[in-house]
Amino acid sequence: MDLYYTAVTPGATIVKVRGRIITTNKGVSLTDFTDVKALFEADGNLYQTEAQNPYWGFRDPFPFRDAKSGKLYMLFEGNVAGARGTHIVGPAETGEVPPGYENVGNSRYQTGCVGIAEADDDNGDSWTLLPPLVTAVGVNDQTERPHFVFQDGKYYLFTISHKFTYGDGLTGPDGVYGFVSDEIFGPYIPLNGSALILGNPPFQPFQTYSHYVMPNGLVTSFIDSVPVDKTTTGMDYRIGGTEAPTVKIKIKGDRTFVVNEYDYGYIPPMVDVILKA
């Protein structure tokens, strides 16, 4: 089994470690996850490096095999390459806007993107960086935990983001956002017109975070913060630190619908599991 993750300090490098999962009548154990192999890091040409921006992001690997081509790819969160503050946000980036909204302020600092790399071998030991699938220059600075759901021959791309990482004059809730395409390399269009799938309510803006849309439509997340009485703690919130209620969504075409809510941390098997006596 290969485990992919982001190694940090110094820098940020996508790495993997190979080990074994051993199951017995007494339980499950992990072994041999000791030999860490560095795979790739931001290059400064496609993806922003720490030298270009001390607030850059390069993390959250999501390896997958494309059902159409059989090739091994990996999604990750990144920022579009270039020195911090040098990105141009003009008519090509903003599109049609009403009169008086042409001033984009400091949105040139928002450079989030969903990156992708292609494996050079079937084992995933060597990778080549490819141009981002979705970019958010002038819109948002973080497109975290990108992942796919494959359904009806389409590519449903999901990512999570923050209210505080939006550019000047823009806003959106902490939550999960989604896009869809008929082809792996796009073009991608936002689901529901706005890309918002699930967002925190205004009265609890940090209610949940780190959403993950599973292939069966269940969406898991964690409780981010819980409002408390400031008079006793000196703070108006405490860290949740546990699984939030699971939500069920239905994906149909370029729309999503909330259809059910389950208990905290409800994550059932996605395939039938047969236990032998």
- Domain parsing of the chain, residue ranges: 2-264
Best CA proximity match to 221, nearest among 248, 244, 194, 193: 244
* pLDDT tens-place string over residues 84-133: 999 999 888 888 888 887 788 899 999 999 999 999 999 999 999 999 99
Torsion angles phi and psi, residue 22, rounded to 5: -110, 125
What is the SS3 assignment for 24? strand
Spatial contact of 200 and 179, defined as CB atoms under 8 Å apart: no
DSSP 140: B
* pLDDT tens-place string over residues 132-163: 999 999 999 999 999 999 999 999 999 999 99
Best CA proximity match to 116, nearest among 85, 139, 148: 148
pTM of the prediction? 0.92
Block residue for tokens 């049609």: 96
Spatial contact of 64 and 74, defined as CB atoms under 8 Å apart: yes
Spatial contact of 128 and 120, defined as CB atoms under 8 Å apart: yes
CA distances to 14, 28, 50, 62, 142 from 81, rounded to whole Å, are 17, 43, 10, 20, 14
Token pair of 108 as six digits: 């040139």
For residue 93, the model assigns a pLDDT of 80
Q: Residue 230 carries which side chain, given as an amino acid letter?
A: K
pLDDT at 249 over 60: yes
DSSP 139: T
CATH fold of 2-264, please?
Tachylectin-2; Chain A (2.115.10)
